[in-house]
A and B are shown apart, each in its own frame.
Chain A
Amino acid sequence: MAPPPPDHKSYPKTTPPSILLVILDIHPLSWSLLASPPPLPSVPDQPIIDKAQATPVSLPDFVTLLMVFLNAHLASRWGNEVVVYGASAGRAKLLYPPPSNAVAGPSKPRPNTYHPFQLLDTRIEGGLKEMAKEEQRRMENGDIKSLNQPPAMVSALTKALCFVNRIVPHTSASAALVDPTATQDPSAATASGPDKPETRILVINATPGENVSNSFSSDPDQTNGNGSANGQVDGTAPNGKSGNGGQMRGGYVGLMNCVFAAQKAKVPIDVLSLPPPSIDASPPIFLQQAAHLTEGIYWQWNGRGGLLQYLHALYLPPPSLRHHPFAVPPQDAVGFRAVCFCHHKTLDVGFVCSVCLSIFCEPRPVCLMCKTRFPIKSIPTLKSLATYIEPIPVPDTVPPPPIPKGSKAHNNNNENNKKDKNRGMINGGSGRGEPIEID
């Protein structure tokens, strides 16, 4: 990104209306972890940060903050809209706006609340309560197994992308009929036709990264059939071996497909990861990848309060104002690890089918996906080569540099990433090392 000119006259005079799609993780187990966080490690060299204690955050508290944030989004421009999805264990649901055939909203407007705010708040509250009731019913029906599934991010993302597609059709044919000037001449479009709304997705993740990673991996047995998987139920810990095969097997591929769809549609996926480092040492790398690939903002809460300010400061500016003129927060280094298609394990070193680019954790004579045969002789060679790979560690976090440099660093990352993809490689080492070419 070239440093923007300092001339403030180049700042946009208007922005298109913006639609914010929020995916809220309401997995009960994750929130119970967040409600009683372990004490934070002290940071002696930064006394101001050290003073802030670990803040427990419960779902009702957070939803209150989220509503204020959503109100601020509605307040920032006429025509802004909000869509909220709830992602609970294994299922996702649209919370707001209610379906058009639903009954009318609250009877009386409150004298001190802007009516759209009130509609939004009461309906989200109602939707959440309804969803909680359904979960309760599921538990009473003894369906404990499904409650241990990880939150259905993929399902929610898919729904959100469908929603985006419905509002902003990608085939510009219909749009062109209405207003062809929108693409050709932006200045004329603002003067004449209605603006094309811009969309973004905000994923609020409450589930520790360990678990999200696990959610995409499952026991090797499960690949052979669901029968054996169903026997494995771990009711104690949220990060146990989760889920039955059917849904989880598509998890990683599904998420990545969503990410690529969002990338193509130019819909940034912002990610707010709530579990602080004390709960969750490893960040949810696939959500981080999603934010990175779609040019969204990824940020992990440090567990020290201030969530309302963070929401406003990081996630409020619409995409048209990000990068120019507003700065985006420096992004952490992204782990480009992938999940193998055969056992759903998160990989540091993988083997890629040269025909269909499927990823496997071990060399295979026949690709499981496209059935391409590889010379059996090459397998030992590949295996021995793989042991030579030495990961080159990169720091966990890009240290926050002065702003212009920061954007450059971000760029470099991007370029690396593109190269990686082009050559069909997976990062080696602890997910942050030198890429290896496997073919």
Chain B
Amino acid sequence: MVQPSFSHPRSDPSSSSTSNSPTAALDAFLDNQHQSYFEELYKSEAVCLCILRSLPPVCRHLILHHLWSHMPLRTTEVKSFLQLDVHTQLEVVDEIVRPALNRKIIHPMIHKKNKFYWPWNDAFKKGLRNALTGLGTSNSFGVPFDRPDDVELPSQEDLVAYGEEAFEGILKYMVSSGLGIGFSVARPQAEVLELLHISGLMIDPTDTTGENPNLNKMTITSKGFQFLLEDRQTQLWEILMYYLTAKEANSERSAEVLSMFFSLGCMQLGQDYSASKSFPHALSALNDLAQYGFIYRPSPDSDQFFPTHLATALCSGDAAATKGQEADEKRFLILETNYKIYAYTSNELEIAILNLFVDIRIRYPNLVVGKLDRKNVKSAMEKGISANQIISYLSSHAHPQMYNSPPPLLHPTIVDQLHLWDRERNRLKTEDTVMLEFFSKELFEDTENEAKANAALQLSVSTQKFLFIEPQTKAAITDFVKERQNQLRSGF
């Protein structure tokens, strides 16, 4: 099957990079941090464990291979373990361990006594060793709550339901604000709305300055629509990173909060933990997370809390692998080559998301039938959703039956058509402009050169002596024209 070139999201690197990995937001955040930040993070064993798992496999095994050695990581050893030639360029080897360097697991290469090596970051090494042996002292895997044994605990299903309800409530609120569909949604709490505003997922259209939004009247932005189409884990990490950036903007220390996220990710669903003992320095952040459904507290002021599946699945590489039945629930879409979509779902949120780009014709209690058509897809694209996002949504939610036909999963006709609709939208674009009309050819050419030199030129039509320039340069250009006109006139 010949794949047309535009099927590859090369033209849109930003969207492709976010769809690659669910932790892309986290990676971007960590890439910008300094050594001291990591030193702070690696005090927690849970962080060491999660960071190790986020490395690419080759790098990860290199680290584990040398973990118990008391020597620094020598380039010669790495080369021979990777079956590379002894004379391989150092840059090549450096590139292989780049992910570990970026996470400051090892320090940059050092040359001493004729040997090239990367020194270990001792904090990380110690942390990972302690994680494996269980000898740490930082309580990073959560201190269980001290309670009598006979107390009734919420079951795992209860916790999943609670977390799902809380987070989907926020998503539903976002969708309904954009579409005006009437499902009854409880408005999320003010802090949540504030974060949604700061992160740019929702705005108040009446508020032009963007500083004093009316939190009750916010509507979803195109960024918000894109957010909706991501898979759950990506959404969670994005939200957490918005939260973290907001904290940093208030010049609060975020390392402890981030290390708490990782700790939550290593906790056990169905187990209760003590908030004050587990996270003595991040209690307020923990309270904030409760609003998103990451944790469940039996009563608001109690020390006891239960992480929900949102929190415990945070660090599991791919949520689909860990939660089998949940993954099955997510695979409900059948897409036919005639653009018909059958969605076996009764989830309000999924239907609302489908409604963004699908013309829904029939709705049964457990099945929604609709059609991908130009009008709806283009209106979705108007909202800022790209063709690639629709395609990745369709393929990640494809029903197991779809796998029975030979690959590719989605028929190329449909994929191509979506791209074509996307292109169609991009073919014309509107821009403000200022038109100048000239009668002297000389003056026209001089002004054209001047505008070109100042990157103000949009279009020039030399046959009719029209110039189109950027509106904000109008004053400067007219000044130039007047001056030039005077010079030319005085010349005669």
Contact = CB atoms under 8 A, between A and B. Distances in A.
A110 to B, nearest CB: 7
A12 B67 contact: no
Interface centre among B84, B137, B140 (most CB of A within 10 A): B84
Given A77-B57, A112-B136, A325 B83 contact: yes
Contacts of A113: 134, 141
B65 A327 contact: no
A118 interface: yes
Given A112-B45, A113-B134, A114-B141, A316 B53 contact: no
Contacts of A15: 57
A13 B60 CA distance: 11
B131 A75 contact: yes
Interface residues of A, number: 56
B321 A17 contact: yes
Given A78-B318, A112-B138, A185-B407, A178 B400 contact: yes
Interface in A97-154: 107-115, 117-118, 121
Contacts of A195: 321
B205 to A, nearest CB: 38
Interface residues of B, number: 66
Interface stretch (B88-96, B152-160, B340-348): B88-96
Given A68-B133, A79-B321, A181-B407, A112 B80 contact: no
Interface in A76-109: 76-79, 107-109
Contact of B52 (A8, A75, A327): A75
Interface stretch (A164-172, A305-313, A373-381, A384-392): A305-313
A4 B83 CA distance: 8
A179 B139 contact: no
Contacts of B96: 8, 11
A174 interface: no
Interface string B56-95: 1110110011011100000000001111110010001001
A75 B130 CA distance: 12
B327 interface: yes
A253 B400 CA distance: 43
Contacts of A117: 131-132, 134
B118 to A, nearest CB: 16
Contacts of A118: 134
Interface in B18-62: 45-46, 49, 52-53, 56-58, 60-61
A391 B70 CA distance: 46
Given A117-B134, A194-B321, A75 B83 contact: no
B266 interface: yes
B110 interface: no
B366 interface: no
Nearest to A11: B58
Interface in B191-207: none
A325 B141 contact: no
Contacts of B56: 11, 13
Interface centre among A72, A121, A179 (most CB of B within 10 A): A72
Nearest to A13: B56
Interface in A373-416: 403-404
A422 interface: no
Interface centre among B67, B85, B143, B316 (most CB of A within 10 A): B67
B295 interface: no
A401 to B, nearest CB: 12
Given A112-B137, A115-B141, 5 more contacts: A11-B58, A78-B315, A110-B141, A180-B404, A327-B82
A-B CB proximity, top 8 nearest:
A113-B134, A111-B139, A78-B317, A112-B136, A111-B143, A115-B268, A71-B132, A11-B58
